[in-house]
């Protein structure tokens, strides 16, 4: 691994690029790095110990909570609280926001929103899963408990965002608004090393990622876009291909590297879509834009949406610029009756 920069070294080196540059954000990212290592360890032995399967409860969205959902949630909360840079968190697994009550935490400048284990139902069948995180500067006075307004900020206010993908290799990918960089975990050293510097998504891709099992319930414009992908052969003669893992982090990561579009539109059963604006869509939109892509709800930029609720859902179209623009065109030309 000689010559490779570790995540810690890279963060310190790039600290001047951070908005409101300070050591606090560097330390906060170190908390996420630590929690990711712990969760990675448990995921990699999931078939050997009793941590797979449902725990028998549901989260606020009505989804069955997996044992590893709760494990990851607790580990990330503990790591973020311990470093004193975070005054509170909001999690997909928590009904309400969580305030860290120690005096040092209440003097912290940041709040973190997270999906601790995206795609956790796939663990039982050994499919890649991930953690998604989003960091904001608080808007409430420092020295007081965080308020709901600290968390209900539009995506363009994000200070940093990223994800960890636990797959054939474990990677941490993040942005602070100065490009996107990826770090691969070396378990022999216990460190994340820079492996993908200045990641960029191609303007045009050949992959579309959507659960076509819901096709009959999709809006008319989305149906027509899928047909366009199936029937249109680009000038280079290589047709579009459908790839859908069912784990947002995994699908997004592949499309980031190879070019493509991820789609989770509204359906008859979920008219507002199914993905969460704050925990999933905003951080992925920030990453996509910093990598040269884009993210939309089909009509407007994701990061311009003013959130009204902690667990608000939105339709989501994210990836290569030209592909997102094309599906927006089909949606605009085919309004619902």
Q: Is 308 annotated as a binding residue?
A: no
Q: Are strands 294-296 and 98-99 parallel, antiparallel or unpaired?
A: unpaired
Burial class (CB in 10 A: 0-12, 13-18, 19+), 122: middle
Q: Is 42 annotated as a binding residue?
A: no
Q: Is 77 annotated as a binding residue?
A: no
Burial class (CB in 10 A: 0-12, 13-18, 19+), 270: middle
Q: Is 326 annotated as a binding residue?
A: no
Give one word for 258, left, alpha or beta, with left for phi > 0 and alpha for psi -120 to 50: alpha
Nearest-angstrom CA–CA distance, 108 and 50: 37
Q: Is 74 annotated as a binding residue?
A: no
Geometric angle at alpha carbon 119, from 118 and 122, rounded to 5°: 150
Q: Is 115 annotated as a binding residue?
A: yes
CB 20 within 8 A of CB 178: no
Q: Is 274 annotated as a binding residue?
A: yes
Helix (H, G, I), strand (E, B) or coil at 36: helix
Copy the structure tokens of residue 273. 């879509």
Q: Is 119 annotated as a binding residue?
A: yes
Q: Is 120 annotated as a binding residue?
A: yes
Copy the structure tokens of residue 171. 């990677």
In the chain, the N- to C-terminal Cα span, in Å, equals 59
Q: Is 211 annotated as a binding residue?
A: yes
CB-based contacts of 96, cutoff 8 Å, min separation 6: 310
Write the DSSP symbol of residue 301.
B
Q: Is 244 annotated as a binding residue?
A: yes
Residue list for the binding site? 92, 115, 117-121, 211, 244, 274, 280
Residue list for the binding site for Mg(2+)? 92, 115, 117-118, 280
Residue list for the binding site for substrate? 118-121, 211, 244, 274
């Amino acid at each position: 691994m000689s010559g490779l920069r570790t995540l810690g070294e890279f963060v310190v080196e790039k600290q001047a690029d951070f908005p409101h540059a300070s050591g606090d954000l560097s330390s906060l990212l170190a908390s996420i790095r630590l929690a990711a290592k712990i969760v990675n360890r448990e995921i990699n032995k999931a078939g050997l110990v009793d941590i797979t399967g449902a725990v028998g409860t549901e989260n606020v969205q009505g989804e069955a909570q997996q044992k590893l959902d709760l494990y990851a949630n607790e580990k990330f909360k503990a790591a973020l609280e311990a470093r004193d840079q975070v005054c509170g968190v909001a999690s997909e697994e928590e009904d309400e926001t969580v305030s860290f009550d120690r005096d040092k935490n209440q003097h912290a400048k940041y709040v973190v929103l997270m999906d601790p284990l995206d795609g956790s139902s796939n663990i039982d069948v050994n499919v890649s899963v991930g953690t998604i995180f989003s960091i904001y500067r608080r808007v409430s006075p420092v020295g007081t408990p965080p308020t709901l307004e600290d968390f209900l900020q539009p995506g363009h206010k994000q200070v940093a965002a990223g994800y960890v993908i636990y797959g054939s290799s474990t990677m941490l990918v993040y942005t602070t608004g100065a490009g996107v960089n990826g770090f691969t975990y070396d378990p022999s050293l216990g460190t994340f090393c820079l492996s993908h510097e200045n990641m960029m998504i191609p303007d045009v891709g050949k992959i579309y990622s959507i659960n076509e099992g819901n096709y009959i319930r999709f809006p008319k414009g989305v149906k027509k876009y899928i047909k366009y992908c199936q029937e249109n052969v680009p000038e280079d003669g290589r047709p579009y291909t459908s790839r859908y893992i069912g784990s947002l982090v995994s699908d997004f990561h592949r499309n980031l590297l190879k070019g493509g579009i991820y789609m989770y539109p509204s359906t008859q059963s979920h008219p507002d879509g199914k993905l969460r604006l704050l925990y999933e869509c905003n951080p992925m939109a920030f990453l996509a834009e910093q990598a040269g892509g884009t993210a939309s709800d089909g009509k407007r930029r994701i990061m311009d949406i003013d959130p009204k609720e902690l667990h608000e859902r939105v339709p989501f179209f994210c990836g290569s610029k030209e592909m997102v623009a094309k599906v927006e065109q089909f949606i605009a030309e085919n309004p619902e009756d």
